[in-house]
Amino acid sequence: KAGVTQTPRYLIKTRGQQVTLSCSPISGHRSVSWYQQTPGQGLQFLFEYFSETQRNKGNFPGRFSGRQFSNSRSEMNVSTLELGDSALYLCASSPQGEGIVTDTQYFGPGTRLTVL
Amino acid sequence: QKEVEQNSGPLSVPEGAIASLNCTYSDRGSQSFFWYRQYSGKSPELIMFIYSNGDKEDGRFTAQLNKASQYVSLLIRDSQPSDSATYLCAVTGYSGGYQKVTFGTGTKLQVIP
C-alpha cells in the first residue's frame, strides 16, 4: 500500500497570508490527524478527523482549521499566518478508527512551512 | 512541569550495548503509551506501544510501564548504528471530553560503532 502523502512538501508564505495543506491517508484508513513540529515545542497535536467530522482537537487557536472529505483525504488551513507558524506540519492516518488514544499513527513526510 | 518529559540527550552507547530511554508523564489518567523513532529529516515511525503495567517485548525492543510512578521506558538491546535517531514518547488520554496525545520532545540516541 502507498503511504500517507502530503502536498506540497515545501511552502513559503508571508505574514498575514493563509495556507492550505493537503493529506491523503493510507488506503482504507478513515482517521486523519494533524501535527505541528518545531524545534522548540516538539510535536504537538492539532486535531483529528474521522468520517468527515472533527473528533478531537488540541490547544491551537482558531486560525488553525481543517476538514475531511468523503474519500478520507484531509486539508488543513492556517489563516493570518504568523512567523511562529513556521514549522513542519505532519499528517498521520490510522486504520482502526478508534481514536488517537489507542490507534497507531502512520505519519506522512510532512509539509515544511516557512513564514517570512 | 511539562506533561511529558524526556531527557534530550544525546545518549551515547557503544554498538551491542543496551540503550535505556526514559519518559515521565504528569497525567495519572493517561491511557496508552507509544514510542516513535524519528530519523533526522524523516517523519516519526512507530516502534511499539504499551497499555498495561509491566514489560512488553518486541524483538530487540522492550517497553516498560509503571503507572504508579508515572514513567515509561524503552530498552533497546544489542544497539546498532542504525538505531541512531531521536526517540519520541507519546502519551494519550482524555481532556475536556476529547481524546488527546502529548509527545515528549524526544531523546537523541547515538550508537557508536
Q: Which of A43, A99, A101 faces B103 most closely, judged by CB atoms?
A: A43
pLDDT digits (tens, 9 = 90+) for A25-83: 999 999 999 999 999 889 999 999 999 999 999 999 999 999 999 999 999 999 999 99
**Closest CA relative to residue B25, chosen from B76, B88, B109, B75:** B88
Q: Which of B42, B49, B100 faces A45 most closely, judged by CB atoms?
A: B100
pLDDT digits (tens, 9 = 90+) for B62-110: 999 999 999 999 999 999 999 999 999 999 988 888 888 999 999 999 9
- The residue of chain B nearest to residue A6, with distances taken between CA atoms, is B43
Give the dihedral of Cα atoms B16, B43, B30, A59; nearest 10 deg.
150
Burial of A110 (0-12, 13-18, 19+ CB in 10 A): buried
The residue of A50, A54, A100 whose CB has the most chain B CBs within 10 angstroms, and thus the best one to mutate to test that interface, is A100
Question: Across the interface, do A42 and B103 touch by the CB < 8 Å criterion?
Answer: yes
* Averaged pLDDT for residues A11-21: 97
